[in-house]
Structure 1
């Protein structure tokens, strides 16, 4: 029974396979006419997938599009790599399996620099640098943005020749040196313009003198053939090939001698020290053996090492000084920016205060003018019997308004002085005399804020009482200026006495020239002209403001509309000055 059941199961499985095959053939037959379209769609999907993968990789690498140079452009401009990084190191950092950060390198090789000899300690990153220099241009030529910064220029490479690592083989009877020679022979056969040669630990595996001689001859041959070559070496003879016109330049990967560990920072133009004995001492190698080894170091090599050590120490000191200088410069820039910001804020506050003071003065002037005009109208309307009483009442109102405006002006000036400066030092000499120091009762004085002149009636400490006409003002000594004892007839007439208010004489003119004034200066000049025209009973006032941008004219029209003494105004007609003139008709 079991055998029968197993046979039935096998038969059913064969029928299932036949049915699957029939369905596949049927479906394939239906799709066969669309084969070309399906193949094109698959190719497009593959292309989109690779583009998407390259875009994601470039974003993760923070890659920039390099400039690819033709052979002629490379000969004219050389190559440059900015902030280059090995892509596999970046992937290890991304996966958390490598170092915390990848140290980038920057390199520029000029057209006459065909070969680069990189030296430095073991585990310093020389081999990784060689591999990165080979990968970056190949990635770019493959359509993948390499991990480089902006401004990178890469050559278009025809062939890459590399001799990196130990390829000794027992099966092929190749020693380390034989393997290097075999690779070097192949490199010489194919090297030329448009090729990149990468050779690690050049000249090793045999007698150092012979290895150095062979490595030098090989490198000079590669330079002569126009190949771009990058080699690493610990041999002192290779570090001395950097001579003018040789086409060979030194470079190194730096090492921290204090911590005895590599920094992985690339430096062009200077060979590096191998630090072999120092690394051995750090790893716990017997000290007596190392001391004996140091006595065997060739004197010439020792001088070179000493010179390089001195250069490195000076470079570290210079780098520290530059860092401190940069910090000081940044601090200076910060302080300068802070000073600029505070200066601007102070200027804005002063401008606001000046605008508020100007607005206050404008308001005080308009209020005083209204009081005077009201008094004049009452005097004109009064008959002879009531005129004396009206005169006394008008005089009292004008005096009260004058005292109120003077007190408000003094308070405004006092607030502005307190906002601009702190407690002032005691004045001395002419300055002290000019600002009221030593003033006595009976002296003539001028009030600095208003220009009014009067006589000092009382002095108590720094408080000075100045009588101007029938008005008396209590002021600080810094707000008055002493005058000579002799007063002119005009001053004597203006000061007057007997409790009468003397109105300053105002020149009456039918024309006022505002040309050259700023907008904020227009109000005072126009107000004086209107005062004179009203006092002189002139029917109209011709205001010459010019055309310009129209700002002064707009301000004039605004003030005329606000002044109740002006019945109407119009622009000048032909013969009066046109648009540069406004004619105001007075009440």
Structure 2
């Protein structure tokens, strides 16, 4: 892409926004060199990188890219024997640390779908030892520390000793010679400690004069008694400087040995910074990844110009390259034609640069070899070119190069000359470009081109909507409807006399009036069709929601009914099992009894068979119908879902947009796309608790109650409940086994029988009934 196209379509403003999202000078360097690519494989790779980085930002919210510097100039200096400063060494250590932090951040991510980022970080070598070597020598402020070497520690210790001794002597002077000093302080001149002595006392304090004040009234004198100490101090400082240089030289040599690895680290870090800068810009623009093709196909839904403020921009749907390869936008000026033209061109440049575009998900853009544009008034005084000549110069250059894999944008084609000749030229130029199978979008205000789209295959008319009521453009692009002049309508609403308007209409040919009427009819029909379509879509959505809701409720009903069946069958099975166990117990007891009433074995077998045949046949369990798959269906308020990005369960609170929901997760509410939600179960309808049923006579209870071994109070509670059950079962007589023992339990049972209104009498058991260990109760 040539620089003129990038300037005309304002691509540099996008680069400026992208540059603001970088975290380091490495990223800024990559951003400054960004240009669209015509290699579809390269473009798709860039788009995948941006999308992967956008996923990381969506899941993690940030990426650690701090503390990274462009250390390439420093590395280059080390390779030619240069010695780095302490701050340069510190920047290298910081960059090593930043790279290691980023590598750990990516490795600790649970999401496996990060193939590009994971492959990139394999090229980052941690280099912990080199970082430690630098940080052990240089502090956070860029100073070489005492511990960098034993010699430096010793030298600095001597410096501190000499400084202390010099100061002590100088302080003694300030106290004893205070009247000779301009100020009782110790100061420094030429890196030596001196005293500010008054001019008249110059001879009273012997020493070396290093400086004087601007007025000459004060001399800065180094007393003779501290000259030797100052000399020793200066000598130690020279030794310190030499030792620091030696330490920095050793570090620089170590860095030089690792310069190739460091350089590769920096290249990876710069690319990752650039990659996440694109993702941050995408988030800022609320953009999405376009699907790229090399077939010249463009499909954009709710596309917004990225350089127009969000509260002012009007989204538009634009398609090109499938049913038609050219769009001719007609209509009056200031309606938004040029904005629509630039929108398509700028989206193409952004997509071919690996940037996402501000449009709905699923948009499609093509990779072109070249984008050509003739936009705006480029009149040149220096070349003595008129507006028309300037446009024609550009158009001639375009026609020399355009081919089937080009996108051509013409703004006000044929303008700046005689309208009739300009319209004829415009149609011829369009014919030429269309014939070469290029993708073309052209704007014009010539009425002759309104019928152009109807007479040429692969060409369609379009216009920008104008609201007659408010006398303002709506900036909505209407594909398939040519623009019409609204001069008469605007004049009428502004108060122009009707007679003047009618007179003006009489000067217009019948054909022009027919075309205007046809366009007005098309606009009305398109508007009504859009309203009908939106209403039909709304009704279809409501019907689909109702259908899904009925499906859910029917499945809930089936599931609840099945649970009730299972519960009833389980209860019946339990009762039958208890009855069988009691029967087996009774049979066993009777078999062991030696009495004259003993039955034969085959009679017991027959009785047992009759008992088993008397068991009710339980209903077979119904096969559960599979739960409705809801992963691709609409979710309803109250449905329980799993938020995949947080791995947490929540409840649908509200639907906030198409395929977007508000989910209550614990104490917080979050917004999520449908694809980020996994259906768990539908909202449970309110169920009334069934009323308790009274057990009838079929309720199973024995004709005897054994209270032996029970405590007094427990025995009475069991007895009271047993009598109620026996009455419900309809037994006339029951036996209470209490044993002989002390007789306390027998007395309690008999007293209970006397006071119970449903017990008519009681007696001790007979010889064959258990004797005095049993009390027989007659029930009413």
For the residues of structure 1 that align with 2:383 and 2:499, how far apart are their CA atoms? Answer: 41
Matches within 5 A, 1:361-380: 361-365=572-576
For the residues of structure 2 that align with 1:60 and 1:198, how far apart are their CA atoms? Answer: 28
Structure 2, unaligned runs of 5 or more:
1-211, 220-240, 600-613, 617-687, 691-697, 699-727, 729-780
For the residues of structure 2 that align with 1:44 and 1:200, how far apart are their CA atoms? Answer: 42
- Structure 1 170/277 Cα, relative in aligned 2: closer, same or farther at 3 Å? farther
- Aligned match of 1:51: 275
Q: How far 1:135 sits from its partner (Å)?
A: 1.6
SS at match of 1:145: coil
Match among 223, 227, 236 for residue 447 of structure 2: 236
- Structure 1 3/284 Cα, relative in aligned 2: closer, same or farther at 3 Å? farther
Contact 2:345 2:371 in 1 (8 A): yes
Matches within 5 A, 1:329-348: 329-348=540-559
Contact 1:119 1:274 in 2 (8 A): no
Instruction: Indicate whether 1:323 and 2:534 are aligned.
Output: yes
- Aligned match of 1:60: 284
Instruction: Indicate whether 1:109 and 2:321 are aligned.
Output: yes
- Structure 1 296/331 Cα, relative in aligned 2: closer, same or farther at 3 Å? same
Match among 74, 85, 91 for residue 304 of structure 2: 85
Contact 2:303 2:317 in 1 (8 A): yes
For the residues of structure 2 that align with 1:162 and 1:349, how far apart are their CA atoms? Answer: 67
SS at match of 1:300: helix
Contact 2:333 2:445 in 1 (8 A): no
For the residues of structure 1 that align with 2:598 and 2:362, how far apart are their CA atoms? Answer: 96
Q: How far 1:31 sits from its partner (Å)?
A: 6.5
| Deviation readout 1:144-175 (Å, 9 max, x if unpaired) | 33435554444443443322222345565444
Contact 1:120 1:255 in 2 (8 A): no
For the residues of structure 2 that align with 1:117 and 1:143, how far apart are their CA atoms? Answer: 29
| Deviation readout 1:204-223 (Å, 9 max, x if unpaired) | 33333222111111111222
- Aligned match of 2:353: 142
Match among 166, 170, 173 for residue 377 of structure 2: 166
Instruction: Indicate whether 1:314 and 2:514 are aligned.
Output: no
Q: How far 1:127 sits from its partner (Å)?
A: 0.4
For the residues of structure 1 that align with 2:355 and 2:547, how far apart are their CA atoms? Answer: 45
Instruction: Indicate whether 1:133 and 2:357 are aligned.
Output: no
SS at match of 2:453: coil
For the residues of structure 1 that align with 2:381 and 2:315, how far apart are their CA atoms? Answer: 38
- Structure 1 234/55 Cα, relative in aligned 2: closer, same or farther at 3 Å? same
Match among 487, 508, 513 for residue 302 of structure 1: 513
Matches within 5 A, 1:479-518: none
Matches within 5 A, 1:120-519: 120-168=331-379, 172-243=383-454, 246-282=457-493, 289-365=500-576, 383=595
Contact 2:327 2:441 in 1 (8 A): yes
For the residues of structure 2 that align with 1:382 and 1:30, how far apart are their CA atoms? Answer: 108
For the residues of structure 2 that align with 1:30 and 1:329, how far apart are their CA atoms? Answer: 73
For the residues of structure 1 that align with 2:587 and 2:368, how far apart are their CA atoms? Answer: 101
SS at match of 2:287: coil
Q: How far 1:233 sits from its partner (Å)?
A: 1.5
For the residues of structure 2 that align with 1:330 and 1:265, how far apart are their CA atoms? Answer: 25
For the residues of structure 1 that align with 2:270 and 2:419, how far apart are their CA atoms? Answer: 53
Q: How far 1:103 sits from its partner (Å)?
A: 0.8
For the residues of structure 2 that align with 1:249 and 1:329, how far apart are their CA atoms? Answer: 30
Contact 1:85 1:105 in 2 (8 A): no
Contact 2:412 2:442 in 1 (8 A): yes
SS at match of 1:87: coil
For the residues of structure 1 that align with 2:249 and 2:428, how far apart are their CA atoms? Answer: 66
- Structure 1 129/65 Cα, relative in aligned 2: closer, same or farther at 3 Å? same
Q: How far 1:232 sits from its partner (Å)?
A: 0.6
Contact 2:370 2:406 in 1 (8 A): yes
For the residues of structure 2 that align with 1:376 and 1:45, how far apart are their CA atoms? Answer: 87
For the residues of structure 2 that align with 1:420 and 1:336, how far apart are their CA atoms? Answer: 28
SS at match of 2:403: coil
- Structure 1 299/206 Cα, relative in aligned 2: closer, same or farther at 3 Å? farther
Structure 1, unaligned runs of 5 or more:
9-21, 388-401, 407-418, 422-448, 450-472, 474-587
RMSD of the alignment, in Å? 4.7
TM-score, structure 2 normalization: 0.40
- Aligned match of 2:185: none
Contact 2:298 2:318 in 1 (8 A): no
Q: How far 1:130 sits from its partner (Å)?
A: 1.0
SS at match of 2:334: coil
Q: How far 1:246 sits from its partner (Å)?
A: 3.7
| Deviation readout 1:495-522 (Å, 9 max, x if unpaired) | xxxxxxxxxxxxxxxxxxxxxxxxxxxx
SS at match of 2:482: coil
Q: How far 1:364 sits from its partner (Å)?
A: 4.9
SS at match of 1:318: helix
- Number of aligned residue pairs: 368
- Structure 1 371/294 Cα, relative in aligned 2: closer, same or farther at 3 Å? same
SS at match of 1:242: helix
SS at match of 1:106: strand
Contact 2:314 2:475 in 1 (8 A): no
Q: How far 1:231 sits from its partner (Å)?
A: 0.5
Q: With a CA cutoff of 8 Å and minimum separation of 6, indicate the structure with the bigger relative contact order.
A: 2
Contact 2:481 2:522 in 1 (8 A): no
Q: How far 1:332 sits from its partner (Å)?
A: 2.1
TM-score, structure 1 normalization: 0.51
Contact 2:314 2:476 in 1 (8 A): no
For the residues of structure 1 that align with 2:369 and 2:319, how far apart are their CA atoms? Answer: 21
Contact 1:65 1:150 in 2 (8 A): yes
For the residues of structure 1 that align with 2:396 and 2:341, how far apart are their CA atoms? Answer: 20
